[in-house]
Amino acid sequence: MAVTIKDVAKKVGVTPATVSMVINNKSRISLATRNKVLRAIEELGYYPHEGARNLVLKRSNTIGVAAPSFISTSALEILAGIEAEVRQSGHNMVLISTHGMEQIEDSVVARVARERKVDGLIALNLQFTQSQQSSFREQKLVLVAIESEMSGWDSLGPDHREGAYAATKHLLSLGHRRLAFLNAPPSLSFAKQREEGFRKAMLEAGLEPARQRMLVVPDASKESGLEAAKILLAQDTRPTAVFAAAGDLCAAGVISAAQAAGLKVPEDLSVIGYGDHPVAALLEPALSTLREPLAQIGARAFGMIKAALAEGGGHRAVRETQLPVLVERQSCAFMGSKPGFNGQMKDSGR
Amino acid sequence: MAVTIKDVAKKVGVTPATVSMVINNKSRISLATRNKVLRAIEELGYYPHEGARNLVLKRSNTIGVAAPSFISTSALEILAGIEAEVRQSGHNMVLISTHGMEQIEDSVVARVARERKVDGLIALNLQFTQSQQSSFREQKLVLVAIESEMSGWDSLGPDHREGAYAATKHLLSLGHRRLAFLNAPPSLSFAKQREEGFRKAMLEAGLEPARQRMLVVPDASKESGLEAAKILLAQDTRPTAVFAAAGDLCAAGVISAAQAAGLKVPEDLSVIGYGDHPVAALLEPALSTLREPLAQIGARAFGMIKAALAEGGGHRAVRETQLPVLVERQSCAFMGSKPGFNGQMKDSGR
DNA sequence: CTGTTAGCGCCTTCAG
DNA sequence: CTGAAGGCGCTAACAG
């Protein structure tokens, strides 16, 4: 049997209540007994039993992170951000992956909300139903959504609009005028926002986005990028730069298609991606892209949980957004730049 | 306040103990009261409080997974495997990342072993000290090690020796005789085993591994692969194939260097990696490599935890190993194959 | 077969 | 400033 609060109380000759108080720095206890207690704790190697404590305090000291899947580099980065904060504040963290299956999602709710295993929940790319949400409210469980919005709850995520705006501006500043825009299907929530950012930058530059250069790809795969690039490159006045807002993988396909067509990147065609996927730096040429502050988002999400918890679940419904940053590598160049004037030189120009 | 066992007891007119028994299918309770209780549970929406239950049962129903970091695709895959099993068996899982810092590692032990927050621990790429281990034993906590061995405890992990053997055989079967071998530094535990596998295959083919073709790279980065490849390609009789046992990123560097030197992969140089990193499939040409059954390893690890727990912590010290599988893509070809005889055709040949 | 009695390990009143 | 008492939600022994 592990050593309990009683053991130390007995050893010092006080009651458990006294020991409890010194542990929790409660009502000023005489320095004398306080020290005696602390010494006994040390000698006995006593550690409070968190479960017991949680039981009386009516909390779990644990937060859950729910997502369809964690097997993606972006989910991972967010997770890392959350984890660091969680540990630092002495909480626990459990992962709940739903695999996109409703059944599991429901069981999440059942277990989480009813067995009171978590005090708060961070939802990543997940949308809870109204009934699930109200079940959370009943249990006074706080919810924070990343990359999705649920009215009445805090939410946060990268600013797709500004990210796309920055990418477009970058291309524009390099002298490009015929920009192609490869977007994800509108069913993905961020697609609309990225398009807004693109349009805004174009309009500010006095340019009208050309219809035939705005393509929607079915997914963010390399194949999709290849297909789209073929269409683009077959046009009479082909674009001098393409912004693969659908993602870096897509951009990889564009580069690949361009090279297959005998074009050099970035001399003949500039390409910029989105997301800073691990492959981005490995491509030839290395892909310029937008990096989202994922770890920071994760950390902030936990911060919001804590704040909400502190306020006793008072719904704040804060909505925050964090700015992506442009990562310049070798896939973009001044329009019409000669070979020899390569990406490396651009980098130093900033 | 959530509904408790008392509430349902009161509603039915029995004592909490009775309710507890029907929940746990204990000593045969009259069907009549049993049904009444069940109905009440249903009506009230009662769910047992796991924390309270664990307190009296002296368990946590939770297993911990400790690793220096979870922020890698391989760690995540293992985690996914664990998670699925954990959920299925109704347990909980907490993540403990040590960041390779001893201080944290100690606190892991302190918290885990003394606050009794977990019944078992899966250690991933982690080596616990003797004193930590005996502390686990005292707490009757079971330990399973993945990718590291601790005597007296169960352990498992991918079979690096067989993996490397398979990779080497593959190259050999393609007619290659001058194989280069890029290994991780011997400080990484798997390096030795992969080298053994390589040597075994070579010896079986009657080949003596050439010293100058066996390089050690400082890390598994693309840069390391680039550097190593430069050395290899500058040799008089350069290798016709390279096995980047250090990892896929390294292989990416080799491919890049080869292409920069005007060689075509796989026609002029075959390259095989290790690990099936997400980028492997995206490279040009797509990289052949070895895929480790990570999810399966995770699942099995939890299986071992359960078995050990069931046996009441009787130390079994089982040692298991799982076989990687060869993933053939486009980066390997028959030695001396002409352009046109590409990887695609090989694929179908198997 | 069911109810009562004791806790699990801890914390918070409420008296002293 | 400290002790005693009561209880968090649940279950294992005992009685009845």
Q: Which residue has the higher pLDDT, A214 or B19?
A: A214
Q: What are the residues whose beta carbons fall under 8 Å from the beta carbon of B47, sequence distance 6 or more? A: A110, A114, A115, B2
Main-chain dihedrals φ then ψ at residue B307, nearest 5 degrees: -60, -45
Query: In chain A, which residues have their Cβ closer than 8 Å to the Cβ of B115?
Result: 47-50
Q: How confident is the model at residue B81 (pLDDT cuts 50, 70, 90)?
A: very high
CA closest to C1' of C7 belongs to B56
Query: In chain A, which residues have their Cβ closer than 8 Å to the Cβ of B256?
Result: 284
At residue B313, the pLDDT reads 62
At residue B182, the pLDDT reads 98
Contacts 24+ apart (CB under 8 A), A305-311: A305/A63, A305/A119, A305/A120, A305/A122, A305/A142, A305/A144, A306/A89, A308/A120, A308/A142, A308/A144, A308/A154, A309/A119, A309/A120, A309/A142
Q: With an 8 Å Cβ cutoff, are B282 and A80 in contact?
A: no
How close B80 comes to chain A (CA, Å)? Answer: 8
Chain A contacts in chain B segment 289-348 (CB below 8 A): none
Q: Is some CB atom of chain B closer than 8 A to the CB atom of A252?
A: yes
Q: Which residue has the higher pLDDT, B269 or A92?
A: B269
Q: With an 8 Å Cβ cutoff, are B71 and A48 in contact?
A: no
Tens-place pLDDT, residues B203-240: 999 999 999 999 999 999 999 999 999 999 999 999 99
Q: How confident is the model at residue B98 (pLDDT cuts 50, 70, 90)?
A: confident
- Strand D: list positions under 7 Å from protein Cβ: 1-5, 7-13
Tens-place pLDDT, residues A165-200: 999 999 999 999 999 999 999 999 999 999 999 999
Q: With an 8 Å Cβ cutoff, are B222 and A282 in contact?
A: yes
B191's tokens = 């390096």
CB atoms within 10 A of CB A51: 22
CA B285 to chain centre: 27
Q: Is some CB atom of chain A closer than 8 A to the CB atom of B279?
A: yes
CA distance linking residue B287 with residue B285, whole number of Å: 6
DSSP string, A128-148: --HHHHHHHHHTT-EEEEESS
Q: With an 8 Å Cβ cutoff, are B51 and A54 in contact?
A: yes
Residues of chain A with pLDDT under 70: 1, 109, 113-115, 313-315, 337-350
* Strand, helix or coil for residue A204: helix
Q: Which residue has the higher pLDDT, B81 or B28?
A: B81
Residue type, A47: Y
Average pLDDT, chain B: 89
Least confident of A166-170, B8-12, B103-107, B308-312: B103-107
At residue B342, the pLDDT reads 44
How close A107 comes to chain B (CA, Å)? Answer: 10
Least confident of A3-17, A139-153, B102-116, B137-151: B102-116
Q: With an 8 Å Cβ cutoff, are A97 and B115 in contact?
A: no
Contact (CB, 8 A) for B297 and B156: yes
Cis peptide before B285 (omega within 30 of 0): yes
Range with top average pLDDT, A191-195, B112-116, B136-140: A191-195
Mean pLDDT on B13-36? 85
Question: Which of B49, B80, B115 lies nearest to residue A116, judging by beta carbons?
Answer: B49
Contact (CB, 8 A) for B310 and B328: no
Q: With an 8 Å Cβ cutoff, are A282 and B115 in contact?
A: no
At residue B114, the pLDDT reads 67
Query: In chain B, which residues have their Cβ closer than 8 Å to the Cβ of A226?
Result: none
Q: How confident is the model at residue B138 (pLDDT cuts 50, 70, 90)?
A: confident
At residue B349, the pLDDT reads 35
What is the distance in angstroms measured between the alpha-carbon CA of B292 and the sugar C1' of D13? 51
At residue A195, the pLDDT reads 98
Q: Find which nucleotide's C1' atom is closest to B49's CA.
A: D9
